[in-house]
Structure 1
Amino acid sequence: MKTILRTAAFCLFFLLSSLGFSQTNRNSTALLQINCPACIGQKATVNTMDLISMNEVKLVESRLDSMGRCTLEVPVSGPLLAFILLGESTVPGQDSVYHLYLEPDQDLTLTIQGTPTFQGQLGVANQYLYESSRITRLVNDQANKLVDTFRNLTAQEQQKIQDAFGTEFKPFHRTISEDTRISQKAKEMLIQDGEFYVQERGLNFLDRSPEKLEQEGTYEASLFFQTIPVKPEWLAMNMYNYGALLNKRVKFDLDLAIYYALKKEGKEKNTDTLAILMEKAILENTRTAPIREYLLAINIKRMLREFGATPTITQLFDRFKNLYPDSRYTATLDREFDKYQGLGEGKEAKDFIATYPDGKEFRLSDLKGKVVYLDTWATWCGPCIGEFPASKKMIEHFKENPEVVFLFVSIDTNLEKWKAYLKSGKAPKGIHVNQNTETQAPGTALYTLYRMSGIPHYIVIDQAGKIKVNKAPGLLMRNRTLCWMVC
């Protein structure tokens, strides 16, 4: 009798477990329908963002049928921010990109005939998300226009811009908060996503002078830990704007705070100490414990990209894996380490060939014996041009030092446009060469050799031809690196 009862109990347990498992599977997808008569035969790809690499990750793809329709079952384990790319290009922005808010077991229909419309259980929230994307583009254009002029404005003018920046979102967010058709969770997502974007872009308009940073520099990095938003649910949702804000705050308010604290004691040249102290500060702070795993992961990524796969950075990663053996961020960090194994501090700089404006050949190895500051740019790159005024100040600072050479490598394919820009006098003084990426043999392009993910990209190489920093992230840090070497 006991055997029969045990068998029955086991069968009941198995049945309930199976039902529970089936329910989990059923709820792990969101149904997305696309209706675009003008997109017949085109590819439809749903991606989300990897918040460590800040690159897109493919979730599912299909092709629109002869009527311009397709249905995709998107794997989701909880609320998720994603985007759909319609077209053959793998580069967002080259075709049609629409941001998406998805939830398990919820349906959504996107119809593209003129202005895109969203319908279904998540239709209202996604219609708001579409409008939010439009406002984001306006704010982004405004921010880009201010980059070149903001530093030259009076303090009163700067304050006026800071107060007005991003206010386009306010009436829109008020409308969202009053809409009873969407859940409270969706409202918070829509409002905070916009607010995080404004905060992240607004960091470009704060006073980041070395004098102010040195005054605020402490090992506790109080400004960072007391003011960053702690929202682990938005990390789980893959909210790009939240991840971008945390990344920039780690750079501006954590890294520089500890760097200037070290500088007060004359220890700022020790990059290993900086990396270890940043890890220590993150581990010891209790307020940010809910997002500690992410902060440690992006600290490792930033140190890896700035200093390469040094023994100290490798040790940071080993400790991270011991602390979080099942971390969702480990796989991305593994891939990042694979990329930078040969590009870390002390590794031989990879030689490349380029051409001077007069057509003569240039080789990086020709500059061995000098400290080389390498700026990769193009005439079509707004952020590259936007950095030139700051680069000119750095060149002026080192003009009496013959050990330092400033090398500007253009990747323009239109050589006449590049030469015309140089003749205009707008470019900083230094050595100017061009490497046309369209004519380079496979594996020989500067862009490929140094694992560039975009431009501008800055590299510092020492007198022995060894990499000091690959992808130096900001003017203060690039200036800092040069001073470590020759000041």
Structure 2
Amino acid sequence: MRGIILLVFICLIFLSSCEERKVVSIIIEGNSSDYDSLYIVDIYSGQTLLKMPLEPIGKEYKFQIQETSLGEIAIKGLESTYLTVLRPEAKKIVVIDSNTIRVEQSIADSLANYLWKSTNLMFSQHDKVIFAEDDPWKVRGLFDSLVQVREDQLMHFESQLTEEELGLLTFQNKARAYSFLMFYGRIIKEISPEDGFFGFVKDIENENIYTKSLPNTLLYKYEIELLSERDSIENLGIFLDYIEKNTKTEDLQHFLKAVYLKEVIENPSYWRPHEKLFTSTTIKEALLQESKNPYAFLIDRASSSFFSSQSGVKGFDFKANRFDGSEIKLSDFKGKIVVIDTWATWCGPCIQHRPNMLEIAKKYENNPRVAILMISIDQSKEKWLNYVQKTNPDQFGMELHIPDGMNTEFGDMYLIKSIPKYFLIDQNGIILNSDLLEPSIGMEQLIENELKKFPG
């Protein structure tokens, strides 16, 4: 009996030790900001792993993780974020100033942010080649070169990284480049799946343990392979079955299926061959099919937003702020046709389309039956105000602000995962169209058609 008790005691000590080794520690060692809380967020699921106050300085906070993964350090209200490699037993020393976040003494974190920012830098430095010239192979060459340069950097610091950190960063290096190249080829250029442009997909592993840090890379690969075998994807089940067939690890199967359903709902423009497969009926069927999926929580929020933002549904009665800080609600416009432009000062396409939106606002400025609401989701009120004063001095339409609106109930209920996004709502507050095309004659025609329905 004593032997059994001793064995149990030893096992408990062992398990406790294992759990302790899965802990990540966070310490704030510098803070010159006016914010009060810091969040550690899982990079893909968006789940908050830790919320901690920024004061007092030097206090240690801990949370558990199961495996090495990628996270994001964020402060609500601060636009700057910072990627962090979450490794069991790691201790993160975070410093925050008025505009930036950084982790000190972490080569892995510095490299993770380098991979992220160098991809964005590629877009800004070579935007004309990537988005203007009609030479996909030149774009492919740019990103192939970027992968090689970044790989050389990783190898330079190899001795200062753990095996897990190097594995995650190596995956991120290629995945960030390949994910864009597949989006570019599939959606922007509409290149045939059989084209040699996609030859790199053979290098994307189906069972890489770091796939969860950027799962779309593997999902895009599966789509290209499946469309190489057949002319089209006729229903959701075909793609879900393909995921199962080609992914041996059960946990990764479940994760990829949940991510796929979430992504097609939230970002349909990234999944054009699948877009028409998603209706209210098919989504309900998919939810039922995946109800026991351990990652169903990824789908639930997206599906709720989908149903609340569909045509024929009463629009969520959101609140937004005027210039003077006073609030206005959607219901205040009952009896009017409402056009909503969801935008931000940091959104390139939003800024590109804004002159056309202002022209539409100007056209209907004196029409009492039409309300044009241009809702900024900028975090900073000052940036919004400054930009609006410069670009809309005559105050056509109604300029409104919902701070960090993508992460509010407004963003959830209207499925705002990318911007610009345009809505048309009728005089009774019913959503007529939650996915309008950019401001154009077509948008004006929709408004005119609704105006014809008014009596007299």
TM-score tier (shorter) = 0.5 to 0.7
After the TM superposition, which residues 370-409 of structure 1 pair with which residues of structure 2 at under 5 Å, given as runs? 376-378=342-344, 380-385=346-351
Residue 2 of structure 2: aligned partner: 8
CA-CA distance at 1:301 after TM superposition: 1.5
Could you list the runs of 5+ residues in structure 2 that have no partner in the other structure? 269-274, 321-329, 358-370, 439-445, 447-456
Residue 275 of structure 1: aligned partner: 236
Residue 82 of structure 1: aligned partner: 71
CA-CA distance at 1:366 after TM superposition: 5.2
Could you list the runs of 5+ residues in structure 1 that have no partner in the other structure? 1-6, 120-125, 263-272, 355-360, 393-406, 424-431, 475-481, 483-487
Choose which of 123, 132, 150 in structure 2 pairs with 1:152.
132
Whole-angstrom distance in 1 between the partners of 2:7 and 2:66: 24
Choose which of 153, 165, 179 in structure 2 pairs with 1:200.
179
Describe the shift of the 1:91–1:194 C-alpha distance in structure 2 as closer, same or farther (beyond 3 A).
farther
Residue 429 of structure 1: aligned partner: none
Residue 119 of structure 2: aligned partner: 139
Q: Which one-letter code corresponds to 1:59 in the other structure?
A: L
Residue 50 of structure 2: aligned partner: 59
Describe the shift of the 1:298–1:450 C-alpha distance in structure 2 as closer, same or farther (beyond 3 A).
same
Q: Which one-letter code corresponds to 2:296 in the other structure?
A: T
Residue 265 of structure 1: aligned partner: none
1:457 maps to 2:443: no
1:93 maps to 2:79: yes
User: For the aligned residues, what is the CA RMSD?
Assistant: 5.4
After the TM superposition, which residues 71-470 of structure 1 pair with which residues of structure 2 at under 5 Å, given as runs? 71-85=60-74, 89-91=75-77, 93-94=79-80, 97-109=81-93, 118-119=104-105, 126-134=106-114, 136-144=116-124, 146-147=126-127, 150-155=130-135, 159-165=137-143, 167-168=145-146, 170-178=148-156, 179-203=158-182, 205-206=184-185, 208=187, 212=190, 216=193, 228-235=204-211, 239=213, 242-243=214-215, 245-246=217-218, 249=220, 253=224, 261=232, 274-285=235-246, 291-305=252-266, 310-322=280-292, 324=293, 327=294, 329-344=295-310, 346-348=312-314, 376-378=342-344, 380-385=346-351, 410-412=374-376, 433-437=397-401, 450-459=414-423, 470=434
Identity of aligned residues (%): 15
Whole-angstrom distance in 1 between the partners of 2:235 and 2:179: 24
Q: Which one-letter code corresponds to 2:291 in the other structure?
A: K
1:23 maps to 2:17: yes
Q: Which one-letter code corresponds to 1:90 in the other structure?
A: K
| 3-state SS of paired residue (1:230) | coil
Structure 1 length as normaliser, TM-score?
0.61
On the 8 A contact 1:100/1:129 being kept in 2, the answer is: yes
Instruction: Count how many residue pairs are aligned between Structure 1 and Structure 2.
Output: 396
Describe the shift of the 1:150–1:27 C-alpha distance in structure 2 as closer, same or farther (beyond 3 A).
closer
Whole-angstrom distance in 2 between the partners of 1:102 and 1:255: 34
CA-CA distance at 1:79 after TM superposition: 1.7
CA-CA distance at 1:193 after TM superposition: 1.5
Q: Which string of whole-angstrom CA distances, capped at 9 and with x for unpartnered residues, describes residues 201-228 of structure 1?
A: 3445436468x45x549xxxx9999665
Whole-angstrom distance in 1 between the partners of 2:258 and 2:163: 30
Structure 2 length as normaliser, TM-score?
0.65
Whole-angstrom distance in 2 between the partners of 1:27 and 1:333: 31
Whole-angstrom distance in 1 between the partners of 2:410 and 2:101: 41
Q: Which one-letter code corresponds to 2:141 in the other structure?
A: D
Q: Which one-letter code corresponds to 1:141 in the other structure?
A: L
Q: Which one-letter code corresponds to 1:14 in the other structure?
A: V
| 3-state SS of paired residue (1:69) | coil
On the 8 A contact 1:348/1:465 being kept in 2, the answer is: yes
Q: Which string of whole-angstrom CA distances, capped at 9 and with x for unpartnered residues, describes residues 411-465 of structure 1?
A: 2586895597589xxxxxxxx94441269xxxx9975752424522255889x99
Whole-angstrom distance in 1 between the partners of 2:225 and 2:263: 12
On the 8 A contact 2:311/2:430 being kept in 1, the answer is: yes
On the 8 A contact 1:384/1:455 being kept in 2, the answer is: yes
| 3-state SS of paired residue (1:61) | strand
On the 8 A contact 1:29/1:76 being kept in 2, the answer is: yes
